[in-house]
Structure 1
Amino acid sequence: MNQLPKRHTDTVAVITGGAQGVGRAIATRLADEGCTKLLLTGRSVEKGAAAVADFKARGVMAHFVSLDLQDAQGCLNLIDHAVATFGTVTCLVNAAGCAARGSITDTTPEAFDEMFATNVRGPFFLMQGFVKHRLTQDGSGSIVNILSNCAHCGQSYLAPYSSSKGALATLTKNVANAHRFDRIHCNAILPGWMDTPGEDGTQRKYHGASDGWLEQAEATQPMRQLAKPDQLAGLAAYLLSEEAGIMTGALIDYDQNVPGSYPE
């Protein structure tokens, strides 16, 4: 493997969903590029403890905080906790989210509220806390939000999920625009179908999938694979680095299918 650039030696990152999947992959990539201060969140204390142990074995000062993104005050407190722990926070990654199913006809008000509280309100207040902190540091800093290609439309059984990701897309641009003169970057990645532990659980819970579903699914894809977290992590690390230059407000489709295309 080629030697990775050490462009994150000064990075202090808060990563939601950092104990597994995309969040864990981004945290690992940042550590590979020199980051030694990571605050990870998630719901599973067991998975969080395992992630922290792995990072500490590499010499990374990693901490885990159990957090339900529906807890707005908890989201605000998280940034304060990170600042108290590390002295500052320079990067925020909103990778956690809810992917429950629901169509326009069968989604309950409770399910809708849970989806938006998790996928929109939680990131909103995490970004609020992050931006407020960065303003006390004379600006600068980077946010990366992990959305979904479903923000463009999504399947019929993903009505509230797709809507929440569309809302976060607009919020990404709004934050980027509002704080561009503060040099606070806010960008988003919109991955397509991904191979993650969460997706495995979703396929089994909602779609009756059994062992071997991943291999069958990948055989049908243009590039013969689903998107992999460690591949996406390189893009996230770039967006969080100074190499991204002036880039802000970008919504980057990360998929092998092109939105708006049609069969030949």
Structure 2
Amino acid sequence: MNEQSLAGRSVLVSGGTQGVGAAVVRAAAAAGAAVAFTGRRPELGEALRDELLAGGTEALFITADVADPASAIASVEQAAARLGRLDGLCNAAGLTTRGTLLDTTPELFDQHIAVNLRGPFFTMQAAVKQMIEQGEGGSIVNIISLDAHGGQPFLAPYVAAKAGLAGLTKNAAHAHRFDRIRINGLAIGWTETEGEAQIQRRFHDADDDWAEQASARLPMGRLNQPSEIADLVVFLLSSRSGVVTGSVIDWDQQVMGCYG
């Protein structure tokens, strides 16, 4: 990756305080971007912002909850106002709490739609409006999930929302081709993050060595790593990815549609 492939550009990352989102924030900064990012935990956001500022990156943390459309839209407006423009967006905020078709409550279903689908929708809406106003195009990357293909039974509301986001990615990409705004998605597989560790302990009674146990069962002998995903996000945000738009890329070691 060209270490300055985002030089002179401004990027917003939703859900950027930990996990894949934080990795994207760091990778975008390393690629030369000015970076704004959102999250609900100020202590994490301010620590990451200070880390970036100390390294010479123009950085802005915005306390925001993408489940609230007004908050999602305002985060785009704040980022563009403070950074002077907006060239890229990565929607990385996500909710992975469990529920099956039979035990999912309307409240749980609505939470997944709010965070995993409605949030990206209105964040993209505001970002695309900003990019159209600037008149110089832009690039958006949505973090989706391999589970958008169907997923496990205990991921029913998550799958519903992420499958919607995969379709939305293509729809928005088609709609804004001639605005030269490229919109792509990464359908990522099982990834080792702080949030996944919490989910494994909360819902699956996992031990502290859950990641090692999981890795031993996987083809490549390890879980996906946020930093590797972030490298591809930066590539898609940069001009190095050329004209590609409307692609939802499976990013995993499992091959969908193939069975042992």
Report if TM-score (shorter chain) is over 0.5.
Answer: yes
1:217-256 correspondence runs (5 A): 217-256=214-253
1:63-212 correspondence runs (5 A): 63-212=60-209
1:33-52 correspondence runs (5 A): 33-35=31-33, 37-52=34-49
Q: Which residue of 2 aligns with 1:213?
A: 210
Q: Is the contact between residue 22 and residue 95 of structure 1 (CA under 8 Å) also seen in structure 2?
A: yes
SS of structure 1 residue aligned to 2:37: strand
Q: Which residue of 1 aligns with 2:13?
A: 15
Give the TM-score taking structure 1 as reference length. Answer: 0.97
Greater shift after overlay, 3-12 or 87-96?
A: 3-12
Q: Matched residue pairs, number? A: 260
- d(CA) in 2 for partners of 1:38, 1:5: 15
Identical positions, percent: 44
Could you tell me which of 8, 29, 35 is aligned with 2:27?
29
SS of structure 2 residue aligned to 1:201: helix
Amino acid corresponding to residue 234 of structure 1 in structure 2? D
Offset, 1:5:
3.2
- d(CA) in 2 for partners of 1:25, 1:79: 20
Instruction: For structure 1, list consecutive stretches of 5 or more residues without a partner in the other structure.
Output: none
- d(CA) in 1 for partners of 2:4, 2:84: 21
Give the TM-score taking structure 2 as reference length. Answer: 0.98
Q: Is the contact between residue 4 and residue 32 of structure 1 (CA under 8 Å) also seen in structure 2?
A: no
Amino acid corresponding to residue 185 of structure 1 in structure 2? R
Provide runs of 4+ in structure 1 moved above 6 Å: none
- d(CA) in 2 for partners of 1:7, 1:216: 37
Instruction: For structure 2, list consecutive stretches of 5 or more residues without a partner in the other structure.
Output: none
Amino acid corresponding to residue 141 of structure 1 in structure 2? G
Amino acid corresponding to residue 170 of structure 1 in structure 2? G
SS of structure 1 residue aligned to 2:89: strand
- d(CA) in 1 for partners of 2:58, 2:235: 21
Tell whether 2:240 aligns with 1:257: no
Q: Is the contact between residue 21 and residue 198 of structure 1 (CA under 8 Å) also seen in structure 2?
A: yes
Amino acid corresponding to residue 21 of structure 1 in structure 2? G
- d(CA) in 2 for partners of 1:42, 1:5: 26
Cα deviation code 1:50-77 (max 9, x no counterpart): 1011101101111111111111011111
- d(CA) in 2 for partners of 1:23, 1:242: 21
Amino acid corresponding to residue 28 of structure 2 in structure 1? L
SS of structure 2 residue aligned to 1:157: coil
